């Protein structure tokens, strides 16, 4: 089937506004990851969902960031009261239940906070 | 905490050359290692995945090796082409199923 999809592909928002980024994983994949890629920091892990387990939120940079995964499929990453340092590309990946734990990435959402 | 380093940060070669990209990691207790390609403004494309029990993986002109005990992996690209120009990222999975830790990438330019 289709790969990982993300929307929107680009988002420009004003400082202080809230934004929602969406990820549709590969059908049947039980694990879903959010990463952030910024110029100064490289590619960093944000949050990880596995089935019905509590998510691993250890990479979220502040309490302005949150994510949910509804019905074990689609995930939404929400950033409240956006700051300029939130400008980055937000990448989503999913993984199936196969033994090699290979992650498949979406095209990303480029967020610009003005 | 796992740290991943890639050297060089940028590389420019003439078309046809064979080249090696390097990746090192600080904690040898890894589950697997992935090499990705990223084109400008695009997401990540998985190139090769090496399990911790494996020494190398090959796909076409690409060969990735893993020396877990020394904390190193290399990506060998044979007969480079301008279409190989991209950023190559190395990522380590230190705990089966959990997050990847990425290196800073090597930006490769292959000149015609």
The answer to whether the Cβ–Cβ distance between B97 and A31 falls below 8 Å is: yes
Q: Which of A55, A105, A108 to mutate to test the interface with B (most CBs of B within 10 A)?
A: A105
Note whether B9 contacts A: Cβ–Cβ < 8 A: no
| A94 touches A26 (CB < 8 A) | yes
CA A3 to chain CA centroid, nearest Å: 15
- The pLDDT assigned to A96 comes to 84
- The pLDDT assigned to A1 comes to 56
**A10-66 pLDDT, tens per residue?**
999 999 999 999 999 999 898 999 999 998 778 999 999 998 888 999 999 999 999
Q: What average pLDDT does range B35-61 have in this prediction?
A: 94
Task: Provide the 10 A C-beta neighbour count for residue A92.
Answer: 28
Which residues of chain A make contact with B6, given a CB cutoff of 8 A? none
Query: How is residue B76 annotated by DSSP?
Result: E
- The pLDDT assigned to A56 comes to 93
Task: Provide the 10 A C-beta neighbour count for residue A57.
Answer: 13
Taking the CA of residue A81 and the nearest CA in chain B, the distance in Å comes to 25
Q: Band the pLDDT of B97: cuts 50, 70, 90.
A: low
Backbone angles phi, psi at B69, to 5 degrees: -65, -30
Note whether B53 contacts A: Cβ–Cβ < 8 A: no
How far apart, in whole angstroms, are the C-alpha atoms of residue B58 and residue B41?
Answer: 27
Note whether B13 contacts A: Cβ–Cβ < 8 A: no
Backbone angles phi, psi at B24, to 5 degrees: -130, 150
| A60 touches A68 (CB < 8 A) | no
DSSP string of A70-95? GGGS-EEEEE-S--GGG-EEEEEEEE
Considering only alpha carbons, which residue of chain B is nearest residue A43? B102
Tally of CA atoms within 13 A in the half-sphere of B48 that contains its CB: 23
Out of A33, A100, A110, whose CB is closest to B32?
Answer: A100
């Amino acid at each position: 089937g289709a790969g990982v999809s993300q929307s929107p592909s680009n988002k420009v928002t004003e400082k202080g506004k809230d934004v929602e980024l969406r990820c549709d994983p590969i059908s049947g994949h039980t694990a879903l990851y959010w990463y952030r890629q910024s110029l100064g920091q490289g590619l960093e892990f944000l949050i990880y969902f596995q089935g019905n387990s509590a998510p691993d939120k250890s990479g979220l940079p502040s309490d302005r960031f949150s994510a949910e995964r509804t019905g074990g499929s689609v995930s939404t990453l929400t950033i409240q009261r956006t700051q300029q340092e939130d400008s980055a590309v937000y990448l989503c990946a999913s993984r199936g239940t196969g033994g090699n734990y290979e992650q498949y990435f979406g095209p990303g959402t480029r967020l610009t906070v003005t | 905490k796992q740290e991943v380093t890639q050297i060089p940060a940028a590389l420019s070669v003439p078309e046809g050359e064979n080249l090696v990209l390097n990746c090192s990691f600080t904690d040898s207790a890894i589950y697997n290692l992935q090499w990705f390609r990223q084109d400008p403004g695009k997401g990540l494309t998985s190139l090769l995945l090496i399990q911790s029990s494996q020494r190398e993986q090959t796909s076409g002109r690409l060969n990735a090796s893993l020396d877990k005990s020394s904390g190193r992996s290399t990506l060998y690209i044979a007969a480079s082409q301008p279409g190989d120009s991209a950023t190559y990222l190395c990522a380590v999975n230190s705990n089966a199923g959990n997050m990847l830790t990425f290196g800073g990438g090597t930006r490769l330019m292959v000149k015609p």
